[in-house]
Structure 1
Amino acid sequence: MFWMLLGVFGAVLLIGFAFARRQDRITRAMAEMEQPSPETGYVGPHRPGPS
């Protein structure tokens, strides 16, 4: 009985862990793409602020 429960829930946990790691890698890659590289500099409009 123990081995059957371990096989069922262990497999579910293993699959969930694999998907969580994959999603974490995707999230980090997307966050890295959103940040401009340091050599880019500011490319937006240069407008004075409110006085």
Structure 2
Amino acid sequence: MPKKKTILVAPLHWGLGHATRCIPIIRLLLEHNFSVLLASDGAALLLLQKEFP
């Protein structure tokens, strides 16, 4: 079985636009069996933690 690829998604915390636009991309990566690492801070991190517990 091929090794699962890991993708780092690290949206900037300058408002929620970057993080919000990353959500569908992250979902697509997960649907295609990628391992996704999330990194951010502030409100963007809180949003991503809520969407991907």
TM-score, reference length from structure 2: 0.31
Structure 1 or 2: more strand by fraction: 2
Instruction: Mark the structure with the bigger radius of gyration.
Output: 1
Higher helix share: 1
Q: TM-score, normalised by structure 1?
A: 0.32
User: Higher relative contact order at CA 8 Å, sep ≥6: structure 1 or structure 2?
Assistant: 2
